[in-house]
Amino acid sequence: MWKISTHTRGLKRRIRAYLRAGRYRENIYRATTHALAQRRRAVAEIPHWEALREQAHQIKREVIDNLEYHLERFLHHARQQGITAVVAQTAAAANAEVEAIARRHGVQTVVKSKSMVTEEIGLNPYLQQRGFDIVETDLGEFIIQLAEERPVHLVGPALHKSRQEIGHLFHQQLGTPYTDDPTLLARIARRALREKFLAADMGITGANFGIVDSGRVVVIENEGNARLCMTLPRIHVVIMGMERFIPSETDLPLFLTLLCRSATGQRLTAYVSVTGGPLPSPFPEGPEQVYYIIVDNGRTRLLRDPWLKQALYCIRCAACYNACPVYQTVGGYPYGWVYQGPIGAVITPEFLGPRMAGGLPFLSTLCGACTDVCPVKIPLHRLLVYQRHRMLQRGSGAWWEKKFFSFFEKLASHPHRWNKTLQILGTLQRHAGIPRWLPGWSPSRKLPRVHPQNFFQWWKRHQSSEPS
Amino acid sequence: MTPNLWEQFRRHFQEAGGQPYATSATKAVDMLQTIIAGANGKQLLFEASAISEFSLHPEAWLPESSFSITPAPTPKGWDRKRRLERLLTVDMVVSTADFLIAETGSALVILQKHPGQWHLWLPPGIILLAAPHQLVDSLPTAFHRLAQQSSLLQQGYVLLTGPSKTADIEKRLVMGMHGPRMVYVLLIEDAPSPGG
């Protein structure tokens, strides 16, 4: 099993390790650039895309600013449909709730569709340790579960794996003849998982959106596994983050347009399910009981910060992952936890604390590509700067970095000292070749040359040579 | 029917991997037979609403052993296990769509109008019949019209855009991951609209 660590002290070591993982990096780069190209094509079809982004931003802002009100209304409407809906304050409470439901209904086998919040709360190991058979049914997640790894991407959990690796994995774990044909591999998974669907007593799904005025949830997918998780087992459990609300079903076209085009570059994914309570008795093709577990697990902490609460607008499309040059280069694993890319670098320190994840906001070039692609206009690069500041205030960062930047600040804020330093550095570099090497910089980049003339000198000369 | 709307739907549905056809009511059965033969459909399941709305009479053109019709639900309900066993042997389902959305190439199905729902996910092929009045230009229009049928939304609804698919292995597109790998929409161009 791959060791997953979020500790800031291991961050650089992890990055170096993944920079050396050639095939992993190739697969990540190919997948992210492909997704970006698909997104560009899909977005170009919508001339008023920017207006849609702005509209979605305003809706999410209203929802997050009044989250308690929307949560109460959602719970009320869900309960009216016969759904048992609860709020879990912590990951432990959410897991315990799922276990209690499973025990109450005598559940043995659980089928599950892709859900980041269940990764966040560690549901799979929790249930496995207690003797339940829990099976991931999204193909990417199934591959990851067999390989005992963690998802590397929100939308494509196994996009770092080659078809040959998957072929060997299926051969070893499922006992099927080796093949690297994606169609045959998908067919093998379909057959193995169909049996699990038919045997399962409980289906667990996430929710892309919770609709406040109807109490229904929306699940978006391409494979159809979520739909089977919802309808084949007797019990359906929806686990969702408490920020996933949209006010009304009439807002859904807007959010479907933004999410599908941003995530996979599709006009709409193959299946969009808008679903609610248990079916009345003459219709047996659905669950007998439906439960909603709405997870806080630190979200109210984000809500209290006037800047960071904007991260709760996120609709989990992963466009910021694909656009981020850091993610494109090192993929998701160095981030060390469930949420990766720019949005992960913003929110993970709030979930895990500065000691464990204080280094993540520094995994960015601050180029702003993430902000440009975000369908709900979260100012991600600004939030990254804000988080860097907070992490440093809360004790993250090396002592020598702090000393260095404090010294640099003293130099750079005083023109005379700054010019003098540059002059000395320039002379040393030209005549003695010093410094030749800087740790953390030189192995992958050339040192910039200090120009013999600084800007002020150039300006003076330029002005004096200009015709009057 | 607005030909542009159908043309837009056709193009988008096809790009999503679906197979759209349009025909007249008199040729509907011929077209169905062609689709079924092309997909090698041996065992068929007809939803009762598809038969009544589009006057299909499968007993007139299919051997009795090759098709069944979804029974009307009784107060006692269906036998869940038997229904599941039956669906696992079906190759193709003939059902109906409630809206066709041109902007995205999607078919919208209101579940309460279609007793049972496993037939939409379990068999490898599905044919959705539709009439021209069900074609709408965009998602907002579809949701606006959906809101007018709020009493039918208790069981929810689904939007189907082409077949079940995955690109989880090296971004290579594979159809039919968990749901149907063949999804057809058959528009009956001269089907009457409600009340006229």
Residue A217 belongs to a domain with what CATH number? 3.40.50.10420
Report if residue B194 sits inside a domain. no
Q: Is residue B128 part of a domain?
A: yes
pLDDT greater than 80 at residue A280: no
- Residue B112, pLDDT > 90, answer no
Pair (A26, A114) in one structural domain: no
Contacts of A228 in chain B (CB under 8 A): 121, 178-179
Whether residues A216 and A361 share a domain: the answer is no
Cα of B26 to nearest chain A Cα, Å:
31
Query: CB-based contact (8 Å) between A453 and chain B?
Result: no
Nearest CA in chain B to A27: B170
Q: For chain A, give the number of residues.
A: 468
Whether residues B84 and A198 touch (CB distance < 8 A) is answered with yes
C-alpha closest to that of A15 among A325, A345, A363:
A363
Q: Please tell me the distance from the alpha carbon of residue A341 to that of residue A311, in angstroms, as a whole number.
A: 13
Structure tokens that stand for A414 in this block: 């005083």
- B110 phi, psi to nearest 5 deg: -90, 115
How do residues A406-461 score in pLDDT, each as one tens digit?
899 988 899 888 888 888 888 888 887 776 677 767 777 777 788 878 787 888 88
Residues in A touching B148 (Cβ below 8 Å): none
Contacts of A226 (CB under 8 A, 6+ apart): A113, A114, A137, A138, A205, A219, A271, A273
Contact check, Cβ <8 Å, B174/A252 = no
* Tens of pLDDT, residues A5-56: 556 668 888 998 999 998 899 999 999 999 999 999 999 999 999 999 999 9
Whether residues A110 and A233 share a domain: the answer is yes
Q: 3-class SS at B92?
A: strand
| CATH number for position B179 | 3.40.50.10420
Mean pLDDT score of chain B: 90
CA A262 – CA A252 distance, rounded (Å): 15
Q: Which residue has the tokens 């030909």?
A: B3
What is the complex's ipTM, to 2 decimals? 0.95
Chain A residues 308-327 within an 8 A CB cutoff of chain B: none
Which residue segment(s) compose the domain that A25 sits in?
Answer: 1-45+317-397
Amino acid A268: pLDDT: 98
CA dist., res. A226 & res. A242, Å (int): 20
Chain B residues whose beta carbon lies within 8 Å of the beta carbon of residue A269: 161
Domain identity same for A40 and A57: no
In a shared domain, residues A34 and A61: no
In a domain, residue A188? The reply is yes
Q: In this structure, is residue A408 part of a structural domain? A: no
A201 and A221 housed in the same domain: yes
In angstroms, rounded to a whole number, what is the distance separating the alpha carbons of residues A47 and A50? 8
DSSP H/E element including A88: strand A84-88
Same domain (yes/no): A183, A234: yes
Domain enclosing residue B80, as ranges? 3-188
Chain A residue numbers touching B156 (CB-CB < 8 A): 216, 273-276
Nearest CA in chain B to A45: B103
Residue of A183, A231, A269 lying closest to B161 (CB–CB): A269
Window 101-130 of B: residues touching A by CB (8 A cutoff) are 103-106, 115-118, 120-121
Residue A346 resides in a domain:
yes
Q: Is residue A407 one of the residues assigned to a domain?
A: no
Same domain for A435 and A335: no
| A458 found inside a domain | yes
3-state secondary structure A157-194: CCCCCCHHHHHHHHHHHHCCCCCCCHHHHHHHHHHHHH
In a domain, B57, yes or no: yes
Considering the domain boundaries, does residue B195 fall inside one?
no
Instruction: Name the residue among A223, A267, A269 with its Cβ closest to that of B177.
Output: A223
Report whether A271 contacts B159 (CB < 8 A).
yes
Same domain, A215 and A109: yes
Using the Cβ of A175 and the Cβ atoms of chain B, whether some distance falls under 8 Å is answered with no
Domain stops at, among A366, A397, A428: A397
Answer whether residue B193 is part of any domain: no
> What are the C-alpha distances in Å from B60 to residues A318, B56, B57, B67, B187?
52, 9, 6, 12, 21
Instruction: Please provide the DSSP assignment of A203-265 as one string.
Output: EEE--SEEETTT--EEEEESSSHHHHHHHSSSEEEEEEETT-EES-GGGHHHHHHHHHHHHTS
CA–CA min distance B77, chain A (Å): 4
Share of chain B above pLDDT 90, in %: 63
The span from the CA of A259 to the CA of A316, in Å, is 8
Which residues of A fall within a CB distance of 8 Å from B106? 267-268, 272
Q: Are residues A14 and A137 in the same domain?
A: no
Return d(Cα A196, Cα A192) in angstroms, integer. Answer: 7
Query: Would you call B169 an interface residue with chain A, using a CB distance cutoff of 8 Å?
Result: yes
Specify whether the CB–CB gap between A36 and A322 falls below 8 A: yes
Q: Do B77 and A284 touch (CB under 8 A)?
A: yes
Among A176-180, A226-230, B148-152, name the one with the lowest average pLDDT: B148-152
Looking from the CA of A367 toward its CB, the CA atoms found within 13 Å total 12
Same domain, A392 and A427: no
* CA distance readout (Å), A11 to A4, A360, B22: 11, 8, 58
Number of domains in chain B: 1
Q: Do residue A392 and residue A420 come from a single domain?
A: no
The residues, any chain, with a CB within 8 Å of residue B81's CB and separated by 6 or more, are none
Residue A409 lies inside a defined structural domain of this protein: no
d(CA A230, CA A368): 38
